[in-house]
Structure 1
Amino acid sequence: MPFDYKKEYKDLYQPKQTPSIIEVPEIVFVGVEGKGNPNDENGPYAAAMSVLYSISYTIKMSHMGSFAIDGYFPYVVPPLEGFWWMENGTPGVDYGNKNGFCWFSMIRLPEFVTQEVFDWAKEESAAKKKLDTSKAQFLRFQEGLCVQCLHQGPYDDEPATVEMMEKYVLENDYFVDLSGTRRHHEIYLSDPRRTASEKLKTVIRIPIKKR
């Protein structure tokens, strides 16, 4: 059976609909940074999605070709994730100003992926898919101490879940630690093209510190 990160790391990808505290370890990602409304079908966010999935599936399917990767194992491509902030420098998210969104969208990569493997997949995607992969980044990131919660429903209803999380943080003697290096984080467990908005499942994660 292919290794499935969602099932093997339930603490990271299957939280409850009530807030909880988690220490997030270092994780390897392919990511693309940009800004603008993610709902723009022809905008930079849509272009970033093409690059992320192309590189991710190029690595996943590498065993079918001549490029051998040390330590390769079959796996399920993990869900799309994203860090979000505002173009005016505000570290939080203003859901009413989607045109002002800044984002770093990403997909987790297996631990066997090195810079060399990533560079190969980036070039392979550019050549075979005719994509501009120049903005794709290879990132090792340790998020650290966070509060997280499963939000079920439309993305525009997330503020109520965030408010519940912030209240939980204060009640448990922590404080929200959003900054230029610690961002509002979302993990998308549902495909919005195939899932009714009221059934969408999104992990919301916010960095915190102990008081």
Structure 2
Amino acid sequence: MPFDYKKEYKEFYLPPRKPGIIEIPEMNYVAVRGKGNPNEPNGEYKAAMNLLYGIAFTIKMSYKGSHKIDGYFSYVVPPLEGLWWQEGIKGVDYSRKEDFQWIAMIRLPDFVKKEDFDWAVAEASAKKKTDFSKVEFFTYGDGACVQCMHIGSYDHEPETVRRMEEFAAENGYEIDISESRFHHEIYLSDPRRAAEEKLRTVIRHPVRPCEG
């Protein structure tokens, strides 16, 4: 059976709906940066999806070609994730989607090194006749954060975020969103196939102990 990160690391990908504090280590990702409303039919976000999955599946299927990645094992491509922020706003204002800045990303298996990533970019560019120059090998770790599972529309996330912030405060933490720590989402459902009220999204906010 292929290695499935969601099943093997349930604490990262399948948290309960009740908020909890967790420490998330650094991981490597294939990532694309952009800005604007993710719902725009021909916007940057939609274009980023093609780039991300183009690289993710080139690496996944590399075992069929001549480039052999040291330590490779069969695995399920991890879910899409996103870091989100807006200039001048601490947190997220869901009514101003046009002001979003984001890093869309997919986790890379630990065996993928920078040279393997560079090979995948060159391979995908040649095979798909597409410009993959926007993709990057990106390392990010949330560190200490409050997280929980959100069920339902993305537009209803503020209520879940409110519960997360209350839980953090009750347990001696404060939200620590900054220029280097972000509102983080992991998408476990495909919005093209799942009913809106059943969408599953992991939400994380970085925290730090309250002073005093």
Range class of TM-score, shorter chain: over 0.9
> 1:166-199 CA deviation, whole Å, 9 max, x = no partner?
0111111100000000000000000000000000
Is residue 197 of structure 2 the alignment partner of residue 180 of structure 1?
A: no
Q: Shift in Å at residue 91 of structure 1?
A: 3.9
Is residue 158 of structure 2 the alignment partner of residue 165 of structure 1?
A: no
CA distance in 2, matches of 1:23, 1:202: 18
What residue is the counterpart of 1:122 in the other structure? 121
Q: What is the aligned residue count?
A: 210
Q: Which residues of structure 1 form unaligned runs of 5+?
A: none
TM-score computed with the length of structure 1 as normaliser: 0.98
CA distance in 2, matches of 1:179, 1:25: 18
Cα RMSD over matched residues?
A: 0.8
CA distance in 1, matches of 2:3, 2:196: 29
What residue is the counterpart of 2:23 in the other structure? 23
What residue is the counterpart of 1:69 in the other structure? 69
Q: In the alignment, residue 19 of structure 2 is paired with which amino acid?
A: P
TM-score computed with the length of structure 2 as normaliser: 0.97
Is residue 105 of structure 2 the alignment partner of residue 79 of structure 1?
A: no
Q: In the alignment, residue 185 of structure 1 is paired with which amino acid?
A: H
Q: In the alignment, residue 157 of structure 2 is paired with which amino acid?
A: E
Q: Shift in Å at residue 90 of structure 1?
A: 2.2
What residue is the counterpart of 1:4 in the other structure? 4
Contact 1:153 1:197 in 2 (8 A): yes
What residue is the counterpart of 1:205 in the other structure? 204
What residue is the counterpart of 1:59 in the other structure? 59
What residue is the counterpart of 1:189 in the other structure? 188
Q: In the alignment, residue 94 of structure 1 is paired with which amino acid?
A: D
Q: In the alignment, residue 170 of structure 1 is paired with which amino acid?
A: A
Contact 1:54 1:125 in 2 (8 A): yes
